[in-house]
Amino acid sequence: MEFAIISALNGVTYGLLLFMVSAGLTLIFGMMGVLNFAHASFYMLGAYVAYAVSSIFGFWTGVIVAPIVTGLIGMAVERFLLPKVHKHGHAHELLLTFGLALIIEELVKLFFGDFPVNYQMPASLRFSAFHIFGADYPFYRLFIGGVAVVMFTALWLLLTRTRTGIVVRAAERLPAMAEALGHNIPMVFMFVFGTGAALAGLAGAVAGAFYPTNPNMGLELGVIVFVVVVVGGLGSLKGSLLASLLIGLFSSFAVGLDWSLAKLLGLVGLGEWARSIGGLMTLELSSVSATIPFALMLIVLLVRPAGLMGERN
Amino acid sequence: MKRFAMIAATSAAALSASALHAEPLKIGIIESLSGAQTSTGRLYANAVAYGVAQINAAGGFNGEPVEVIEYDNAGGAPDAANKFRQAVADGVDIIFQGASSAIAGQLTEDVRKHNLRNPGKEVMFINLGGEAMELTGEKCQFYHFRFTTTAPMRVNALVGAMKKSGDLGEKAYSINQNYSWGQDMQAAVQTAAANGGYEIVGEVLHDVNKIQDFAPFVARLKSAEPDTVFTGNWSNDLLLLMKATGDAGLNVKFATAYLDQPGNIANAGATSLGHYIANNYENAATDGAFAEDYKKATGHYPIFVEGHSAFAVGALQQALGTLDFKGGDINVTSIAQALENTTYETPVGPVSVRKEDHQTIRPVVVSKVVKNAKYPADGTDMGFETVEVIPGEQAIYPVQDSCKMQRPDS
């Protein structure tokens, strides 16, 4: 019981962090069809901007400024870089953003050095929310989860319940028609891309204070975030929330389980034989827990290529 | 005909020019200078550059300054193999590398094969940081020298020092990365159990630097209720593990190998206080003369791997001092033999090469994180205080049976 509660709690908070980072990517892909490889770089940029600002003006100013800065950079990318390659199709957009990711990473190293920087949460947030089964549960994990929930609700309401949302969705479905009705489509796209980048920046500013802020953070999380978006169904906000939670829970539970093929075979009396073979047979689930998201992606792609909540099959 | 005469004349001129200039000793650094492990790779390269500057300040070698060429292996073994071929083409005599045992494994095999195929044009490899046991086990060879510790040396030192200071406890947990180094650490913790008088209450191997969230591992660790947690984790895997444990409010002592990696102390903050590390060198364990000299040359005190890497070049310098090729061809085999017979005095004690497997017999420094340290880390007020310096003879472990070295002189 203790194991199940703790693992579920850890899994959900980690899943919400994944959602926080992947929300912007989902938005950009869902509304514009651009697969933005540099998305995790905006996440890293957010953490670094927040670090730089917060060392002078305090943590909260950093958290507010970071998404604004990354949002503006995102808009600039959409305005000045993407249109140049748009007519050549998705592959070129992907390559452009991939190059951008490499450039951002090296620039960060140039300005902030190769080592993790000392970006910390304020002392006022550093306390344990509650005491459970003999261990403290840090409040900041709940804070990260809370920000993700607010982010999801706000985005979902914005897209489905407001006039802006209608225009954005119209721009995605029928850009020519929306333009004919007098909406400035390029402006809408720039705004969407900027929002996506700003969300990544906010995620970076919030999560960077909990996880170390280093030049590899984008790379490390970037791959998982792509897995989330693919599993959830490219462009589906609800899908990526579901996928994030699934990946978070699977990884969390896998760590606590010392299952192996040998144990499984032990149920039918072949345990000794399997252990004598060793290798893959005795590999514990916990030692490959980071592989689980990819296994999940493989299964989802085989069974439902459009992703859990994807529309296009 | 005229053209042939011209070629003959120019090549004759080139030949005589090369006879005037002695052959310089060339050192190649094949290191992770881009990609995820840049931070560590850069430090190894810094330290080697510092060491070579010392050689050149003392007049170089063979009548010429020693040349250093940096090659970027981008953090991967395939790139390292490519860069090794390039280094050979550039005429490099000695290769240095430190970040990653996997890359060290690739390079030592490449060096061995190259030397088999090109007798008389040997290349030697000084390994600054590849700690996998197999490098001095199955893969051991005459032209590879390991100028760093290995898992048993670090663990034995930690166990000895922590037991003496009463911080070891009776229940130990081992959490390591699932590859050669982490597995070596886990095995070393098992071996040292009898001597240290502790029981291993849990063991975990996990993916290498892929895990973002260590909370589930901490939940598992907590249920085993250990006193001490042994870990060979480095980079994010150590930092995240330590932070997650601190956040959960668990009262355990960490016995680590890489706590001194830059950024760790600042990021973990007060959580890191009281945790242990065993490594090759610590400024606080010395009189500070080397640290000051290093700072004068590079602008900062030696951190992380820089100290022991500089000593490896120091040992090489001492070995070179016993040789004189009189400006002629450089014989790498003679350099390797001279290095075998070198005992180099570092500020923490002597370092010598064990001839059977080319592991260095070297002191291990055990330190713990304290407030108001003499050499503060990462711009904080915390840093490392020396608990004990274990002398080389005490820290060393027996030669592995798997090492069958082919010597050129036998």
pLDDT tens track for A272-283: 777 777 667 777
Tell me the CA distances in angstroms from B124 to A301, B316, B331, B336, one per residue in order: 49, 11, 11, 7
Separation CA B22–CA B328 (nearest Å) = 6
**Contact at CB, A286 and B204, closer than 8 angstroms:** yes
Separation CA B396–CA B389 (nearest Å) = 13
What CATH number was assigned to the domain covering residues B22-149+287-361? 3.40.50.2300
Note the Cα A309 to chain centre separation in Å: 17
Contact with chain B for residue A128, Cβ under 8 A? yes
Contact with chain B for residue A165, Cβ under 8 A? no
- Cβ contacts (< 8 Å) between A116 and chain B: which residues? 239, 262-264, 266-267
Cβ count within 10 A of residue B295: 14
**Contact at CB, A287 and B269, closer than 8 angstroms:** no
> What are the start-end ranges of the E strands in B261-337?
276-279
- C-beta of residue B186 within 8 angstroms of C-beta of residue B192: no
**Taking the domains of chain A in order of start, what are their residue ranges?**
2-124+138-303
* Cβ-based burial of B410 (10 A; exposed 0-12, middle 13-18, buried ≥19): exposed
Contact with chain B for residue A179, Cβ under 8 A? no
Separation CA A131–CA A137 (nearest Å) = 6
Amino acid (1-letter code) at residue B83: K
| DSSP letters spanning B15-46 | HHHHHHSPPPPEEEEEE--SSTTHHHHHHHHH
Separation CA B146–CA B128 (nearest Å) = 6
- CATH for B151-279+363-395 (3.40.50.2300, 3.90.1150.10, 3.30.470.10, 1.10.357.10): 3.40.50.2300
Closest CA to B222 of A136, A139, A249: A136
**Contact at CB, A211 and B240, closer than 8 angstroms:** yes
Model confidence, pTM? 0.85
- C-beta of residue B33 within 8 angstroms of C-beta of residue B296: no
**Taking the domains of chain B in order of start, what are their residue ranges?**
22-149+287-361, 151-279+363-395
**Contact at CB, B216 and A284, closer than 8 angstroms:** no
- C-beta of residue B256 within 8 angstroms of C-beta of residue A201: no
CB–CB contacts below 8 A, A to B: 124
Closest CA to A145 of A245, A12, A262: A12
- Cβ contacts (< 8 Å) between A216 and chain B: which residues? 36, 236
Separation CA A144–CA A17 (nearest Å) = 6
Closest CA to B81 of B48, B51, B105, B58: B105
What tens-digit pLDDT sequence spans chain B (410 residues)?
A: 455 555 555 555 554 444 456 789 999 999 998 877 888 899 999 999 999 999 999 999 988 999 999 999 988 899 999 999 999 999 999 999 998 888 999 999 999 999 999 998 999 999 999 999 999 999 999 999 999 999 999 999 999 999 999 999 999 999 999 888 899 999 999 999 998 999 999 999 998 888 888 888 998 898 899 999 999 998 888 988 988 888 888 889 999 999 999 888 988 888 899 999 999 999 999 999 999 999 999 999 999 999 999 999 999 999 999 998 888 899 999 999 999 999 999 999 999 999 999 999 999 999 999 999 999 998 889 999 999 999 999 999 999 999 999 898 75
Separation CA B370–CA B387 (nearest Å) = 11
Structure tokens at A248: 């978070």
Alpha helices in A58-138 (DSSP H): 59-76, 82-86, 90-112
Chain A residue with Cα closest to B247: A138
Closest CA to B319 of B343, B354, B348: B343
CATH topology assigned to domain A2-124+138-303: ABC transporter involved in vitamin B12 uptake, BtuC (1.10.3470)
